[in-house]
Structure 1
Amino acid sequence: MMSLCRNLAVLLLFLIASPLPHSHLFTHATSTTAPATRPRIIFLTGFGSEGDDDDDDDDDDDDYEKPTVLTQVVKSVQNTLVHQAPKLCHYDFCLENQEPCGQISAKTGCLCPGVSGGDQPPHSPRIQELVPITRGGDRGKIEIRWCAPSSVVTGYKVLIEGGEVLEFEDVSRRGLVRSMEVGTNVCVEAVNSAGHSIPSDFSCMRYEHPESSDHKLLAGIIGGGVALLLVLIIAAVILWKHQMRKKAKRDSANGLGNPSYSTEGTL
Structure 2
Amino acid sequence: MTSLRKNLAVLILFLSASPLLHSHLFTHAASTSAPATRAQIIFVTGLNSDDNYEDDYLDDDNHSTPPKVVESVQTTLLQQKPQLCQYNPCLENQEPCNQISERTGCLCPGVSGGDEPPHAPRIQVLQPISEGGDRGKIEVQWCAPSSVVSGYRVVIEGRETLEFQKVSRRGLVISLEVGTKVCVEAVNSAGHSTPSDFSCKRYDPPESSDHKLLAGVIGGGVALFLLLIIAAVILWKHQMRKKAKRDSADGLGNPSYSTEGTL
TM-score tier by shorter-chain length is 0.5 to 0.7
Residue 196 of structure 1, CA deviation: 0.9
Residue of structure 2 aligned with 1:98, choices 94, 98, 103: 94
Alignment partner of 2:214: what SS? Answer: helix
Q: Deviations over 1:199-227 (max 9, x none)?
A: 4356424274x9x8344224312321221
Do residues 110 (structure 1) and 106 (structure 2) align? Answer: yes
1:108 is displaced (CA, Å) by: 1.5
- With 120-129 and 227-236 compared, the bigger mean Cα shift is at 120-129
Query: Taking structure 1 as reference, are residues 149 and 254 closer, same or farther at Cα in structure 2, changes over 3 Å only?
Result: farther
1:165-244 counterparts in 2 under 5 A?
A: 165-177=161-173, 179-183=174-178, 184-192=180-188, 193=190, 195-200=192-197, 203-206=200-203, 208=205, 213-244=208-239
Unaligned runs of 5+ in 2: 1-75
Q: For the Cα contact (< 8 Å) 1:189–1:203, is it kept in 2? A: no
TM-superposed CA distance for 1:133, in Å, is 8.4
Counterpart CA distance in 2 for 1:133 and 1:251 is 64
For residue 128 of structure 1, what is the amino acid of its counterpart? V
Aligned residue for 2:222, secondary structure, equals helix
CA contact (8 A) 1:123 1:190 kept: yes
What is the aligned counterpart of 1:163 among 159, 166, 178?
159
Q: Deviation of residue 240 (structure 1)? A: 1.5
Q: Distance in 2 between matches of 1:202 and 1:238?
A: 59
* Structural RMSD (CA): 3.9
Residue of structure 2 equivalent to 1:262 = 254
**Counterpart Cα distance in 2 of 1:113 and 1:194:** 21
SS of residue paired to 1:87: coil
From the superposition, tell whether residues 133 and 230 of structure 1 become closer, same or farther in structure 2 (CA, over 3 Å): closer
Q: What's the TM-score, normalizing by structure 1?
A: 0.53
Identity of aligned residues (%): 44
TM-score (norm 2): 0.53
**Against the structure 1 CA distance between its residues 186 and 198, is the aligned structure 2 distance closer, same or farther, given a 3 Å change threshold?**
closer
The number of equivalent residue pairs is 182
Q: Who wins on radius of gyration, i.e. which is larger?
A: 2
Q: Which amino acid aligns with 1:90?
A: Q
Q: Matched residues in 2 for 1:161 and 1:98: separation?
A: 30
Shift of 1:153: 3.0
Task: State how far apart, in whole Å, the 1-side matches of 2:130 and 2:241 are.
Answer: 65
Please state if 1:80 is matched with 2:78.
Answer: yes
Distance 1:203 1:129 in 2: 10
SS of aligned partner of 2:208? helix
CA apart distance, 1:181: 4.5
Counterpart AA for 2:183: C
Taking a change above 3 Å as real, the CA distance of residues 247 and 151 of structure 1, as seen in their structure-2 partners, is farther
Structure that is richer in helix per residue: 1
> Structure 2: how far apart are the matches of 1:113 and 1:263?
109
